[in-house]
C-alpha cells in the first residue's frame, strides 16, 4: 500500500489551480520512489565455508627484512600451495571429498512440546578411487553425491582439475592436494622423451629458458651443485647445511647456479 504522504502530496497538487499535468506526474514519481523495495543481497551458496576459513598469510618476505612479532619460520618447505578455503568448521571434511556438505542441526519435538537438538551428518563412505594420471588407487572418505559427480565428470582426475569457482571452494584440503599432484604429473607427462648420441631414450625433466633440456631431476642437480659450493666456500659446508640452504630452489634456479660456476651440462643434457 502507498503511504498516506503520497496521497496527501498528490491531493495538494491537484487542488492547486495553476499546476500543470507534467508537474503532477513528476511529483507522483518522486513520492513513488519512497516506497520502492531495495533488491535483496544474494547470499553466497557456500557462505559457511567462506565464513569459517583458515586465514592464509600472503605477505612476501625478503632477505634482510625485520621479522615481525609472532612470526615463526617453518623448518621445511611447503609441499603443497596454500588452500584459501580450508574450513575451520566441521574439520573432518578437510580429510576427504565432502563436496562442501557440512553438518546440519535441527530440533525434535515431543508430544508434550519438549525440544531436543539433533545433528544431521552427511552420508560419507570409504572408497578407493582410481586416478589415471597418477596411475594408482586413492583411498579416501567420500560423499555419496560426490561419487555420482565423479562418474558424471568422467573420472577422479576430471573432477579434481575442474577450474570452476564452486569446485575449488568445495573440493576440500585433501582434494586440493590431490589436484596439485595430478596437475604436476600432467605437466611432467607433457615433457618430451629424446634420444641421446648413443641411441638411448632419455626423459626430459626440465626445459630451461635458454633451451637446455635437462634429463635429470632436482636431487641430481643438488648432487652436482654440492661439490662446487664446497670448493668455493671459505668455511666447511656440511651436507645437511647445504640442503637446508639450497633444497627450496627450483630446477631453473639450480641450473642458473650451476651455470654461474661454469658447469659442463653435456652429461645431463641432450
What does the pLDDT read at residue 40? 52
What percent of the chain has pLDDT above 90? 49
Cell numbers for 144: 555419496
Question: Out of 15-24, 49-58, 60-69, 153-162, which region has the weakest mean confidence (pLDDT)?
Answer: 15-24
CATH number of 48-56+80-109+116-189: 2.30.170.40
What confidence tens digit (pLDDT) does each residue in 50-89 have?
Answer: 888 888 888 887 878 887 787 877 777 788 999 999 998 8
CB neighbour burial string for 54-91, b if at least 16 within 10 angstroms, e if fewer: eeeeeeeeeeeeeeeeeeeeeeeeeeeeebebbbeebe
Provide the Cα torsion 223, 226, 227, 232; round to 10°.
160
Q: How confident is the model at residue 22 (pLDDT cuts 50, 70, 90)?
A: low
**How far is the first Cα of the chain from the last one, in angstroms, to the nearest whole number?**
82
Parallel/antiparallel/unpaired status of strands 206-207 and 213-214: antiparallel
Q: How confident is the model at residue 46 (pLDDT cuts 50, 70, 90)?
A: confident
Q: Which helix (H) or strand (E) holds 21?
A: helix 21-32
CA pair distance 24, 10, nearest whole angstrom: 7
CA pair distance 247, 219, nearest whole angstrom: 9
Nearest to 183 by CA among 167, 155, 212, 160: 160
What confidence tens digit (pLDDT) does each residue in 209-260 have?
Answer: 888 899 999 999 999 999 999 999 999 999 999 988 888 888 999 999 999 9
Residue 163: phi and psi, rounded to 5, are -100, 20
Sequential DSSP letters for 150-191: HHHHTSHHHHHH---HHHHHHSHHHHHHHHHHHHHHHHHHTS
Greater confidence (270 vs 238) lies with 238
CA pair distance 249, 253, nearest whole angstrom: 6
Nearest to 220 by CA among 202, 200, 196, 233: 202
CA pair distance 260, 229, nearest whole angstrom: 11
What does the pLDDT read at residue 11? 53
Nearest to 256 by CA among 221, 204, 231, 227: 221
- The domain locations on the chain are 1-34, 48-56+80-109+116-189, 193-267
Q: How confident is the model at residue 1 (pLDDT cuts 50, 70, 90)?
A: very low
Sequential DSSP letters for 201-227: EEE--EE-TTS-EE-S-HHHHHHHHHH
Nearest to 100 by CA among 45, 57, 18: 45
What 262-269 contacts at long range (C-beta under 8 Å, 24+ apart), as own/partner pairs, is 263/224, 263/228, 265/212, 265/214, 268/214, 268/215, 268/216, 268/220, 268/221, 268/224, 269/212, 269/213, 269/214, 269/215
Amino acid at each position: 500500500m502507498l503511504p498516506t504522504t503520497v496521497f496527501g502530496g498528490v491531493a495538494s497538487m491537484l487542488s492547486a489551480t495553476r499546476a500543470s499535468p507534467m508537474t503532477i506526474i513528476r511529483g507522483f514519481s518522486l513520492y513513488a520512489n519512497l516506497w520502492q523495495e531495495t533488491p535483496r543481497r544474494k547470499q553466497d551458496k557456500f557462505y559457511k565455508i567462506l565464513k569459517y576459513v583458515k586465514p592464509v598469510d600472503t605477505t612476501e618476505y625478503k632477505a634482510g627484512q625485520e621479522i615481525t612479532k609472532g612470526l615463526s619460520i617453518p623448518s621445511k618447505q611447503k609441499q603443497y600451495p596454500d588452500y584459501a578455503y580450508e574450513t575451520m568448521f566441521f574439520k573432518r571434511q578437510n580429510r576427504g571429498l565432502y563436496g562442501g556438505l557440512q553438518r546440519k542441526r535441527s530440533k525434535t519435538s515431543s508430544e508434550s512440546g519438549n525440544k531436543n537438538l539433533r545433528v544431521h551428518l552427511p552420508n560419507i563412505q570409504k572408497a578407493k578411487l582410481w586416478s589415471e594420471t597418477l596411475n594408482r588407487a586413492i583411498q579416501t572418505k567420500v560423499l555419496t553425491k560426490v561419487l555420482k559427480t565423479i562418474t558424471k565428470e568422467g573420472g577422479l582426475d576430471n573432477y579434481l582439475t575442474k577450474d570452476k569457482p564452486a569446485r575449488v571452494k568445495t573440493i576440500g584440503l585433501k582434494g586440493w592436494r590431490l589436484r596439485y599432484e595430478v596437475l604436476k604429473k600432467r605437466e611432467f607427462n607433457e615433457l618430451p622423451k629424446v634420444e641421446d648420441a648413443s641411441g638411448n631414450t632419455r626423459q626430459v625433466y626440465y626445459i630451461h629458458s635458454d633451451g637446455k633440456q635437462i634429463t635429470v631431476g632436482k636431487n641430481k642437480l643438488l648432487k652436482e651443485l654440492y661439490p662446487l659450493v664446497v670448493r668455493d666456500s671459505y668455511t666447511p659446508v656440511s651436507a645437511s647445511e647445504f640442503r637446508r640452504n639450497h633444497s627450496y630452489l627450483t630446477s631453473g634456479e639450480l641450473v642458473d647456479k650451476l651455470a654461474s660456476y661454469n658447469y659442463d651440462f653435456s652429461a645431463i643434457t641432450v
